[in-house]
Structure 1
């Protein structure tokens, strides 16, 4: 009872819980469609075949919605505040989910169009979640703990993915693939997320940085006092006010951010590069088409579904290493090593997939190649989760000034949406035409992602927002984007404290929920 009472008044824990559940909503959708795509009643209701390109289009059109939603809700977050934007993007995602649920319910004509509309509307809302939550979280975290904060929230993203696939699998096994409730139940269960979020929404603080950027200093001070207490809140207020006075108050538009020569053009291109490279890792395809990948390795449908669930559980557990390592080794290090591990894993999967595909011809037992293939895919999942899942969402929140942070994070979601639209649209086509050679394609694209990250992406961890912006000023002065050639390569690594210097990591403004429990 004491802990419940404490949580009721603890703004920090409430923000952490809210952000984590909101990110879990995004993960739930990733896992939701994987088994719905193979439900016979769903395919019949939509009037499409199992190998129809429409299967991939229904999945991928959602990502176009996220791109548009990121713009709409980031503008709202910048103009009216982080909290109002979060409320409306959650309401939009909930509405889209309801539209999907009623698609073809008691009728058949027009069911496909309703499903498309539901996917787009839900994409609008989730795009808003993806663009606003990282800003909200990062603006309430200290410089040395931003990575840990967001990585822990993205671990809840994998919890959402696990929950969606587990519900899907349970109802599919129980009801069968010809029962409409085997695909409608997983859809409507997503409503648990927005309803839970609304229960704690009113008690959340608004971002003090947003208040200060809009010259609402009294509100900023009240918000900080509510979060940190009287003494620490006033001290933090003075610090944030001083930082804000050093920033340019000129508004930054989307056109400015894509204009060569503008101060925000270089950081915008880093954001674009990060999200394109994340799509090139191929893991958007793995999360949506996991069962089909295990089938490529030689197993039947049901065993492949169980193996996919096991992969997601492993994914969730191993994501712990992401928030343990991201502020210790840095974003850039995790990205580069993640790409290297993924390149090796996908190269091995090409070999194991080829042997499994030709096992009858060569007399190879299925398990002899499928088991090492499964282990390799599990390792690849861990490499993506630790290296690429949270990092590319974190960097945009660290490299822009307050006047451009919402737009920068929105651009991140837009590029993520467009890139994943292309990947999820092409994946079923590639599966049908390339079979196991699709893994070799992913090995090549991961190599590209790793090399370009090593050359051009700076280390943003352990530095203040202002210090990260100085990197781009120096790059402009030295007329190069190569990280190793700017400031003698200082931004290739975390700025570890020097012996006898100041303390290392500071206590995060948002103490994590698990700290409260322990």
Structure 2
């Protein structure tokens, strides 16, 4: 194992002002930023003329969408491999392997069609390397997206898991913002016909995996994983690195009790994916959460933001500036997400988010139609209110749908199935976003503004499904959340309103059973 758990005793932090808990959140947040960086990076690469010539594709070619979307197929496969490794060898070795894979894929993308004079001598093989690089990088990022939520949730408190993960996803938006800012800066400075305007944003991404691989050895493995492998001594040392010797004793006793209750519950993918399996119900909640997040349509908005502002009547450069402003707004609004997710709950935020997004996309259909079909209307009379609605939709998605669907799978499975559940979440996310990002450019080219109306309908469906079938998992221990699925069998219903008298329609009270006090308190 190349990265053994940290064994520092007193001052375990890299910086005096940072506790070990802070380091865990900072590391996990930076890892999650990788996905956001890719979204912001590709949005302007897709419109770089040198890139299109190097790949030998047209600006409106469906291959543009294919290059973007194959990344998500890599994510789907990477999540399975990473979750297996996370259960077999530990969360940390799996994360390290994913970071190395991400770094390698990024290099393949950077060298695709590389030549010093900017004219590709690769005889059509540039696109092969780009596709391969996208897939390999997807393998790494998909694995990170599967394991990091599990890693952080196993080290976070029952009352602060949402806050921790939402803070990590705020860094996801920081990655998106960073990539788009760099991309826009080099595009303005070098022009859309310069190869370095698209290669530099790619290679700068190396900062993330290299930095994280150099720091991962300082972090503890999760004590829950050690206990699942009956490595009590290692679990004790991991707890000591966080709490010190005195504070770790009660936590160890709690984990031993939980492990005794779960030791005989071995769960495989068959139990999760086949009807009648012991974990089929939570798996369907997980799958539909990710499908519904994709159906919100905001994945397409993130990747193809400039094109959407152009549909509202703005010039190419103005659309790029507005997209940058939208990402700044996105990042700021994520503060509300982590402040509210453990107060209002996952379910309520998702319901409000669906209603808000459905209304926003319906209005965008109207403004897009006015801009496209009525050219005599002053462009700003349509573009300004349309942009305000798009900014509002960004905030609604970030608060209601970005972190919630990633958090729920880490809360509703037993320890023996948590990594697999997170992997299934990433698989569905990858396949759903592959479909959306593949079809989005085709939709924009053919349906124009009517695509917004499609998203309004899909958001309505997402809200209905969430209201009907998605339980509230916030504010409860892992074990308490599993009671919902046990009660669903007894009540012969999956409807949240009918299971256990509607107990899981909302979060429980603020009183926390001290016997189930979580591993890490919010700091």
TM band (smaller chain): over 0.9
Question: What is the CA-CA distance between 1:261 and the residue it aligns to?
Answer: 1.2
For 1:74, the equivalent position in structure 2 comes to 83
Partner of 2:113, secondary structure, is: coil
1:6 maps to which of 16, 22, 35: 16
Name the CA distance, whole Å, in 2 between partners of 1:259 and 1:348: 41
C-alpha distance in 1, partners of 2:279/2:248? 31
Which position in structure 2 is the counterpart of 1:515?
none
Name the CA distance, whole Å, in 1 between partners of 2:20 and 2:227: 19
Superposition pairs of residues 448-487 of structure 1, within 5 angstroms: 448-487=461-500
Residue of structure 1 in register with 2:56 after alignment: 47
**Which residue is 1:516 aligned to?**
none
Measure how far apart 1:359 and its partner are: 2.7
The corresponding residue for 2:162 is: 147
Deviation at 1:3, TM superposition (A): 8.8
TM-fit CA distance, 1:497: 3.6
Any idea what SS the aligned residue of 2:218 has? coil
| Residue pair 1:138, 1:146 contacting (<8 A) in 2 also | yes
2:5 paired residue number: none
Pick aligned residue for 1:61 from 63, 70, 74? 70
1:488 aligns with 2:501: yes
Aligned twin of 2:4? none
Structure 2 residue aligned with 1:417: 430
Normalization by structure 2: what TM-score? 0.94
Q: Which runs of 5+ in 2 are unaligned?
A: 1-11, 116-120
Give the one of 104, 107, 122 matched to 1:108: 122
Secondary structure of the structure 2 residue equivalent to 1:460: coil
- CA offset digits 1:247-273 (Å, max 9, x no partner): 253321112211111120000000000
CA gap 1:3/1:271 in 2 versus in 1, 3 angstroms: closer
3-state secondary structure, aligned to 1:483: coil
Partner of 1:377: 390
Query: How far apart are residue 376 of structure 1 and its match?
Result: 0.2
Question: What secondary structure is seen at the aligned counterpart in 1 of 2:449?
Answer: helix
Equivalent residue in structure 2 for 1:266, among 281, 291, 298: 281
Residue 252 (structure 1) aligns with: 267
CA separation in 2, counterparts of 1:326 and 1:7?
26
| Alpha-carbon distance in structure 2 between the residues aligned to 1:508 and 1:373 | 46
d(CA) in 2 for partners of 1:383, 1:284: 13
| Residue number among 180, 191, 209 corresponding to 1:194 in the alignment | 209
Match of 1:229 among 225, 244, 249: 244
Deviations 1:454-485 (A, max 9, x none): 00000000000000011100001111100000
Larger helix percent: 1
Instruction: Please say which of residues 152-161 and 252-261 is displaced more in the overlay.
Output: 252-261
Match of 1:132 in 2: 147
Partner of 1:156: 171
Is residue 457 of structure 2 the alignment partner of residue 444 of structure 1?
yes
Residue 484 of structure 1 aligns to a residue whose secondary structure is coil
Q: Residues of 2 paired with 1:429 and 1:4: CA distance?
A: 48
**CA–CA separation in structure 2 for the residues paired with 1:493 and 1:470:** 14
Distance (whole Å) between structure 1 residues aligned to residue 227 and residue 361 of structure 2 = 47
Moved over 3 A (4+): 2-5, 505-508
Whether the 8 Å contact between 1:7 and 1:14 is mirrored in structure 2 is no
**Worse overlay, 263-272 or 224-233:** 224-233
Q: CA deviation at 1:13?
A: 2.0
Report if the CA contact (8 A) 2:367-2:383 is conserved.
yes
Q: Is the 8 A contact 2:156 2:518 kept in 1?
A: no
2:343 and 2:519 mapped to 1: Cα distance? Answer: 14
Partner of 2:29: 20
With normalisation by structure 1, the TM-score equals: 0.95
Distance (whole Å) between structure 2 residues aligned to residue 272 and residue 510 of structure 1: 29
Q: Could you tell which deviates more after superposition, 372-381 or 234-243?
A: 234-243
Is the CA contact (8 Å cut-off) linking 1:284 and 1:424 kept in structure 2?
yes
What is the count of residue pairs matched by the alignment?
506
Structure 2 matches for 1:335-350, cutoff 5 A?
335-350=350-365
For residue 167 of structure 1, what is the aligned residue in structure 2?
182
C-alpha separation in 2, matches of 1:413 and 1:502: 32
SS in 2 for 1:229: helix
Cα offset, 1:129, TM superposition = 0.5
CA contact (8 A) 2:157 2:522 kept: no
Q: Could you report, residue by residue, the CA deviation over 1:17-59 in whole angstroms, capped at 9, with x for unpaired residues?
A: 1101001111101111000000000000000000001000000
